[in-house]
Amino acid sequence: MHLPPLLTALQALLLSSHDSLLHGYFLLRYVAPAQPNYPD
C-alpha cells in the first residue's frame, strides 16, 4: 500500500521515538476529531 508523502513522513517520525508516538496519539485524539468527516 502506497502512503501519501505526509503520512510516510509522519510514520517515520512516529517510529523514530516513543515520545513522538505519544505525541501523534494525542494529536489524533484531540486534533483529528475537530476535523470534519474524520473516519473513526
pTM (2 d.p.)? 0.31
- Domain boundaries defined on the chain: 5-33
pLDDT of residue 22: 76
pLDDT in tens, 1-40: 565 777 777 777 767 666 666 777 877 777 666 666 655 5
| 4 DSSP 8-state letter | P
**Set of cell numbers at residue 24:** 501523534
Burial class (CB in 10 A: 0-12, 13-18, 19+), 1: exposed
Residue appearing with cell numbers 483529528: 32
Alpha carbons 33 and 26: distance in angstroms, whole number: 11
